[in-house]
Structure 1
Amino acid sequence: MNAEAPVTRDHRADFSGLAPGWSYLDSAATAQKPAAVIDAVARAYGEEYATVHRGVYARSATMTERYEAARARAARFIGAGSADEIVFVRGATEGINLVAASWGGANLKPGDRIVLSALEHHSNIVPWQLIAERTGAAIDVVPLTPAQGIDIDALESMLDERHRIVALNHVSNVTGAVADIPRAARAAHAVGAKLLVDGCQAAPRLPVDVDALGADFYVFSGHKLYGPTGIGVLWARGEILAEMPPYQGGGSMIETVTFEQSTYAPPPARFEAGTPHIVGAVGLHAAMDYVAGIGLDWIDAHERALAAETRDALRGINSLTLYGPEDGSGIVSFTMEGVHPHDIATILDEEQVAIRAGHHCCQPLMMTLDVPATARASFGIYSGAADVEKLVKGLERVQRIFG
């Protein structure tokens, strides 16, 4: 069933990186940046620049206010109860590593079990493998549904008191499947486990309310949310953060330091060692304002409609196999019989269509799907029907070339 198309709006003019005639269908990898973000970053690196939390001069104080305003904006963006529950990190990858090393290092022990799904990005697999090796914990994997989403029925049946944490993506970066996170949270909490959610693909395209989701940890990256690279957000419930030991040591995260002993600042400062990515936080603030101004409900409907239109069009190419659920969010992955995805992407590039090809940092999922790689088209605020048309025409050319 096709998603209902939202009222048409054209935001392409806001994005100077989109050359005329170029169809950018790789937003799941990284989103283009609107003028509002570029301008905010330029000002922050220019006439507004100063350090934060240290200087007593006026510009430093002003920049500190802007940095902390970005933290408060991030809290509102995902429905967090307090800005003190927001930790700025380099991206979702660092956020998950922080939780695995800090919370996992303090709470996991031999015999404990960690639950992941077959749909996870490497960033939500490798950190758990590292902490499992350190602590003696073990990893269980939730299988996929026939529609290639996370099988929550299987999750419920496999959980028991040995499981300490469940770590799942909110939206798959390969299939576009949207996980039933509230149900996963209830299942995890029923056995005393925590739930971490990788929200990298959800935050740019779905309204997120961490309290309604029931998550204990939520992470997302700024660059997928139309913001700068090198900045992201880790949210955790305040009582959990308060019990977690530091992840890194250095300036900003301390209360006192002597050669005999150091004491640490309360969260979130405890987890932000060193000079932070000040300008990244300012740019992320601008990105969240931009996205909120358009409306995440509209973005969700817009991208789902484009994904449904793409699926309908690609079904007319007999040699294509589509992956993921029919009602997936803004991401369409596919393979073409006898053609490697890298060749598909190369020919599409000649047609001025940019897609992603490869394993998408999901090698275990590729093994489950029994393919070496897929081609992936992913949509953004600036995408439209013309992009879908160019993609389909480009794929028809691929088919002609390879017979």
Structure 2
Amino acid sequence: MDIVPNEIVYRWIKKRLIIVCKRWYAIWCTKPMMVDLHQINFHTSDLSCPVNSLIKFKNLQVLRLGKYSNIDSSIKTLTSLKTIILDQNIYVIDKKLRHLTNITSLSLANNELITIASLKYLTNLTKLNIESNDNIDDEMIGSLTTLKTLILNSNECVTGETLCRLTNLNSLSLVGNKHVPNKTLVTLANLTKLVFAHNGIRDDTLKCLTGIQQLSIYGSKYISDASIIHLTNLTHLSIGGCEHVTDASIQYLTKITRMFVSNYPHITSNSLERLLHLTRLTTQNFESSFSRLTSLRTLVLRCQIGKIDWISYLTNLTSLSLYNMDNVTTDHVQSLTNLRKLNIASSDNIKKEDINLPLVKKITSLIL
């Protein structure tokens, strides 16, 4: 899917500025498309436009509106939309949204306007983001039984009492959410992805969720080896600030293919070397050698402590990114002849001309 640049959208909104050739115009109008009317630059206003400008995109699937993006009431004609992002938007109300019954993904982070008055009509909805949303409560959530993905980060209104009705739910995010009780999580037997941080989820709950395949957990003092050791179906693990999780449990998660670990004295290469399917590893503030992780294809190191001579042994790497590491030199990467992506922009010790020519020829993405 392609994103239409703001400058192109602007030219089409302002008819007198249309200078795009008809052939190019036709191509863009038939491709699966995302239109983003949100401005990242805080010194400029979000774009607004009449719907008849967007109707030109016959296959418009994703629409993102900024806080001040205004679209007229004929938004209901955008029947091809599958995803709409209304984070903080102050113009789209229930009366406009209720007609977009084909959408499957809706983001209402920090949104103060949308209620059950429109949500009840969105019967195809499978993904909902209500991060920091004070307008959607338990009763509303309980009626959305088609949901598969629910984001409740920093949400103060949803207590989780009705989550047990969401029998199709397989992905749940609870970062900063302290209101969903442990007893509710245990009932979500179909969960395959769970993200949580800085809340009260405990070992007795987590160890019951044995179907979890993707787990992200940060800053949790209640989680330890006692629960992690039971999650043997994990394929993706991101972990940080959990001082009671150690090599003792990690070594048994042998299905893991991707892992992120941050500043962990208790998780070392001793356990990671047992993860024979591990192909992608990201570490931060780590002090350990991974020379035996020869199955790795992607390695991202941030602020690696100590010597890194061992990198030269990872000859199967196709992607290597090194951040804030002045201890890396040309000698460390010369033997990595399978590299296709190399990012060492934060290192002052490597110059492009210092890298051997055969290696440079194979690399498709080089950032120095």
Question: Into which bin does the TM-score normalised by the smaller protein fall?
Answer: under 0.3
Q: Which has the larger radius of gyration?
A: 2
Larger fraction in helix:
1
Query: TM-score normalised to the size of structure 1?
Result: 0.22
The higher-RCO structure (CA 8 Å, 6+ apart) is: 1
